[in-house]
Amino acid sequence: MKKFFKYLFIGLGSIILLLIIGVTIWWKTKSDKEKSRLMVESHQYEKAIEYDQENSDAWMERSVAFNKAGNFEKGFEYLNKAVELDPKLHLGYRGWIRLRKMRDFDKALEDFDRLDSLTPNFVDAPWGEDIDFLRGECFFGKKEYQKAIELFNRNIKNQKEDWVDIHSFVYLGLCEYELGNYKKAISEFERALKQSEHIPESYFGMAKSYQKLGQIEKAKEQILKAENNMHYKRDDVYNEFLNEIYISEIQKFKQKIN
């Protein structure tokens, strides 16, 4: 039995040694670009950059953790290099970061517009979102509501009414509300509710619009619906949205109209 285990360990050791030699030989056959790509796939981004300084994906991926943590100074050292190497691939992400995390609407628009100019006859989707929806958010943040309306409507045309992000309609309602067009605002909020009846942002917007129109009972009805649907609100662990609502706002508005 002892001899059996002895030979077993010798055999296993030999197999492991052969595997190590095989992997070493295989690795040496790879070019630096291939090694860099493999390092990105295994999330070793600094190593990927060491192997290939021109690997834009490595620079971009290395920036993500810093940007998520709010260390934009360090994150943008890597991200700006990624954009420099491949603007078509990474401008959208940089614009998205500038919009959603930094609230730098002008710089975000510069990135989205530049990306758009590099991809004619193609509707871009930075970080998975329609570019005109994101540009609409930028103009909403800048309080340029008429321009925001134009972009959100273009976004709806791009994506089609039944497939577009529901918050396109919510933003349209908010823009009309800010412009004092309260009846139009209500109609836009209702467009969102046609897609789903669980949109507290729409109910809250309608409540405020009805209050402005002096229709207090309708305002009370809508604010209750907003409160009852708050668990469906738009939120994200990492980002606060421009149209995000909070239960404290709902309760404050309820007290106001009561």
Nearest 5°: the CA angle 148, 68, 109 is: 25
Q: How many helices (H) and strands (E) does the chain have?
A: 14, 0
Q: What is the average pLDDT score of the chain?
A: 89
Residue 198 lies in a domain: yes
pLDDT by residue (tens digit) across 191-228?
999 999 999 999 999 999 999 999 999 999 999 999 99
Which of 196, 224, 162 lies closest to 216, judged by CA? 224
Which of 161, 176, 213 lies closest to 222, judged by CA? 213
How many structural domains are present in the chain?
1
Residue 77 lies in a domain: no
Judged against a pLDDT cut of 80, whether residue 137 lies above it is answered with: yes
pLDDT by residue (tens digit) across 149-172?
999 999 999 899 889 999 999 999
Rounded-to-integer distance, Cα 258 and Cα 251, Å: 11
Query: CA end-to-end span of the chain, whole Å?
Result: 87
59 φψ region: left (φ > 0), alpha (ψ -120 to 50), beta (else): alpha
One-letter identity of residue 109: L
Split at pLDDT 50, 70, 90, the class of 17 is low
Q: Which CATH number does the domain housing residue 252 bear?
A: 1.25.40.10
Judged against a pLDDT cut of 50, whether residue 5 lies above it is answered with: no
Average pLDDT over residues 86-106: 96
Residue 232 contacts residue 198 (beta carbons within 8 Å): yes
Range of the domain at 207: 165-257
Judged against a pLDDT cut of 90, whether residue 21 lies above it is answered with: no
Residue 229 lies in a domain: yes
Which of 73, 71, 111, 68 lies closest to 89, judged by CA? 111
Residue 230 lies in a domain: yes
Residue 12 lies in a domain: no
Chain center to CA of 208: 28
Residue 231 lies in a domain: yes
Residue 45 contacts residue 37 (beta carbons within 8 Å): no
Average pLDDT over residues 41-48: 87
Residue 34 lies in a domain: no
Q: Give the pLDDT of residue 29.
A: 59
Within a 10 A sphere around the Cβ of 65, how many other Cβ atoms?
Answer: 14
Residue 55 contacts residue 81 (beta carbons within 8 Å): no
Judged against a pLDDT cut of 80, whether residue 11 lies above it is answered with: no
Split at pLDDT 50, 70, 90, the class of 16 is low
Alpha helices in 52-197 (DSSP H): 56-68, 72-85, 87-100, 105-118, 131-141, 145-159, 167-178, 182-195
User: What's the whole-model pTM score?
Assistant: 0.87
Residue 208 lies in a domain: yes
